């Protein structure tokens, strides 16, 4: 697993003053995105530092780096990060180290890099990578159990859950970056007491609090990725909202799983926090001793010691009425990625064990990250107990599922004693009325 190095030193400060003490983007983070200045047409790679962005295309033109770092910089400066992702860990780490050194207080390169800074307030984002394939996993046992109880009270977990990292192939074309607005989906639903299904707008629209995991370097068809080789293949993480039409899903998901209930929209945060930046927040992978030991290709000492990640996650809701009265978004729940039953390395190893070839920019969804307590639920389906118990908001409004005009906001951060707090920014998306 990726080890801690000088870039994680909590005492580091930057000559970019807004980075010092920044809640998400201090010098210890340095996440990547694709951005452009508002009003301009050309996107390029960027790295967040405080409230600013290092324009990597402008930086590459300065030619201040030695050959290996310059090559990585030129790839990272492209409109999307796929070619940079394909270079592998040594290139990712080398560029991150150089950026850390150039942005530190007292760096000789300050004057040159200062010309490459752009305010985050003046930009817009696109998908940081071209996602060729997207797979959504189901890694929270607490979410799986809570949802299973709604449909199978006596047998909430299916027999394979504790043996196999469950996933399904999602739709990459409807993935978009924070700020996405989408129309309420329409589809077939069937009420329990109805003789036939009907067609119309979804009535049980839900969010899912997830993490997105970007694949970097790929593998050849027929050559599985070993569990302990994941560092060479996993580039970084983002926040991920995997929207769900629960009533459409209930009618369509048997026997082959989600289809139109999931393919209408999914939203990610613009910033990818690299796996190297996340190294200090790795924690031990744990599961109850009474549970079965995973098969050998899903087990290793490194995965046991460092496989999980301590990421605090929060979900907020802002309704039309709240916006009209200038009320701040209300937090609905708070959870942690460490509750995941399967690790990222296990997801990747299982995905490729049959010889499936992963490609740079492929996206893995973690599945809804719910914790063991009700207030840690990562979806309205759980918070409202399947729509039976409405949530009452501070302004008196009630929700079992989402209404038109609702905006959902996810935030996430990592912190640990002796290390700087780093964050993921936020992912924001709004539900529009169904198209007639």
Q: Name the band, by pLDDT with cuts 50, 70 and 90, for residue 324.
A: very high
Is 210 labelled a binding residue? yes
Q: Name the band, by pLDDT with cuts 50, 70 and 90, for residue 436.
A: confident
Q: Name the band, by pLDDT with cuts 50, 70 and 90, for residue 151.
A: confident
Tell which phi-psi region holds residue 148, choosing left (phi > 0), alpha (psi between -120 and 50) or beta.
alpha
Report whether 130 contacts 175 (CB < 8 A).
no
Is 312 labelled a binding residue? no
Q: pLDDT exceeding 90 applies to what percent of the chain? A: 93
pLDDT at 198: 96
Read off the pLDDT of each residue in 63-87 and give the average, rounded to a whole number. Answer: 97
Report whether 157 contacts 144 (CB < 8 A).
yes
Instruction: Evaluate if pTM is beyond 0.95.
Output: yes
Is 180 labelled a binding residue? no
Is 136 labelled a binding residue? yes
**What is the C-alpha to C-alpha distance for residues 332 and 316, in angstroms, rounded to an integer?**
5
Longest CA–CA separation in the chain, Å: 74
> In this model, does residue 273 exceed pLDDT 90?
yes
Between 152 and 433, name the one with better pLDDT. 433
Q: Name the band, by pLDDT with cuts 50, 70 and 90, for residue 339.
A: very high
> Tokens 């994680």 — which residue?
8
Is 134 labelled a binding residue? no
Is 208 labelled a binding residue? yes
By the 10 Å C-beta count (0-12 exposed, 13-18 middle, 19+ buried), 63 is classed as: exposed
- CA 381, 157, 339, 31 dihedral sign is negative
pLDDT at 3: 86
By the 10 Å C-beta count (0-12 exposed, 13-18 middle, 19+ buried), 30 is classed as: buried
The catalytic residues are 143
How far, in Å, are 214, 216, 217, 341 from residue 361 at the CA level?
Answer: 6, 6, 9, 24
Q: pLDDT exceeding 70 applies to what percent of the chain? A: 100
Report angle CA 96, 178, 216 to the nearest 5 degrees: 40
Q: Which of 146-155, 182-191, 239-248 bottoms out in mean pLDDT, i.e. has the lowest?
A: 146-155
Topology (CATH) of 6-126? SH3 type barrels. (2.30.30)
Read off the pLDDT of each residue in 282-286 and give the average, rounded to a whole number. Answer: 94
133-150 burial string, b = 16+ CB within 10 Å, else e? bbbbbbbbbbbbebbbbb
> In this model, does residue 105 exceed pLDDT 70?
yes
> In this model, does residue 1 exceed pLDDT 70?
no
Read off the pLDDT of each residue in 216-243 and give the average, rounded to a whole number. Answer: 97
Is 101 labelled a binding residue? no
pLDDT 10s digits, 348-391: 999 999 999 999 999 999 999 999 999 999 999 999 999 999 99
Is 262 labelled a binding residue? yes
In the chain, the N- to C-terminal Cα span, in Å, equals 51
Cα 239 from chain centroid (whole Å)? 3
**What is the C-alpha to C-alpha distance for residues 16 and 104, in angstroms, rounded to an integer?**
8
pLDDT at 158: 87
Read off the pLDDT of each residue in 275-294 and give the average, rounded to a whole number. Answer: 95
Q: Name the band, by pLDDT with cuts 50, 70 and 90, for residue 37.
A: very high
Is 281 labelled a binding residue? no
pLDDT 10s digits, 39-74: 898 999 999 999 999 999 999 999 999 999 999 999
Task: Classify domain 134-432 by CATH architecture.
Answer: Alpha-Beta Complex (3.90)
pLDDT at 156: 87
Domain ranges of the chain: 6-126, 134-432
């Amino acid at each position: 697993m990726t080890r801690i190095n000088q870039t994680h030193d909590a005492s580091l400060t930057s000559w970019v003053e807004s980075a010092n003490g920044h809640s998400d983007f201090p010098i210890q983070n340095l996440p990547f995105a694709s951005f452009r200045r508002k009003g301009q047409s050309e996107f390029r790679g960027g790295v967040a530092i405080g409230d600013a962005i290092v324009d990597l295309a402008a930086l590459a033109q300065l030619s201040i780096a030695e050959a290996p770092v310059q090559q990585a910089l030129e790839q990272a400066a492209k409109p999307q990060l796929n070619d940079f992702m394909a270079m592998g860990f040594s290139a990712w780490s080398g560029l991150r180290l150089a950026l850390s050194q150039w942005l530190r207080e007292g760096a000789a390169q300050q004057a040159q890099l200062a010309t490459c800074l752009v305010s985050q307030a003046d930009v817009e984002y696109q998908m940081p990578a071209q996602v060729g394939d997207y797979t959504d996993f189901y890694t929270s046992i607490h979410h799986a159990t809570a949802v299973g109880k709604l449909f199978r009270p006596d047998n909430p977990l299916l027999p394979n859950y504790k043996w196999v990292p469950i996933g399904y192939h999602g739709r990459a074309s409807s993935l978009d970056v924070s700020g996405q607005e989408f129309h309420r989906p329409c589809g077939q639903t069937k009420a329990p007491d109805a003789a036939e299904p009907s067609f119309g707008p979804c009535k049980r629209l839900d969010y899912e609090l997830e993490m997105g995991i970007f694949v970097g370097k790929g593998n050849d068809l027929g050559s599985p990725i070993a569990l302990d080789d994941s560092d060479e293949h996993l580039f970084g993480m983002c926040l991920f909202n995997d929207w769900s039409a629960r009533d459409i899903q209930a009618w369509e998901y048997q026997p082959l799983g989600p289809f139109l209930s999931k393919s209408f929209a999914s939203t990610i945060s613009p910033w990818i926090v690299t796996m190297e930046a996340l190294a200090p927040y790795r924690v031990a992978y744990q599961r109850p001793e009474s549970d079965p030991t995973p098969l050998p290709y899903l087990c290793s000492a490194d995965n046991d010691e460092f496989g999980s990640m301590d990421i605090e996650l929060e979900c907020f809701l802002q309704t039309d009425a709240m916006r009209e009265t200038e009320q701040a978004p209300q937090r609905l729940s708070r959870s942690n990625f460490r509750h995941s039953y399967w690790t990222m390395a296990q997801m990747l190893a299982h995905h490729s064990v049959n010889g499936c070839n992963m490609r740079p920019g492929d996206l893995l969804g973690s599945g809804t990250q719910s914790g063991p307590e009700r207030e840690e639920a990562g979806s309205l389906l759980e918070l409202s107990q399947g729509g039976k118990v409405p949530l009452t908001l501070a302004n008196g409004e009630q929700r079992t599922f989402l209404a038109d005009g609702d905006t959902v906001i996810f935030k996430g951060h990592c912190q640990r004693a002796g290390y700087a707090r780093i964050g993921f920014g936020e992912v924001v998306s709004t539900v529009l009325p169904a198209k007639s």
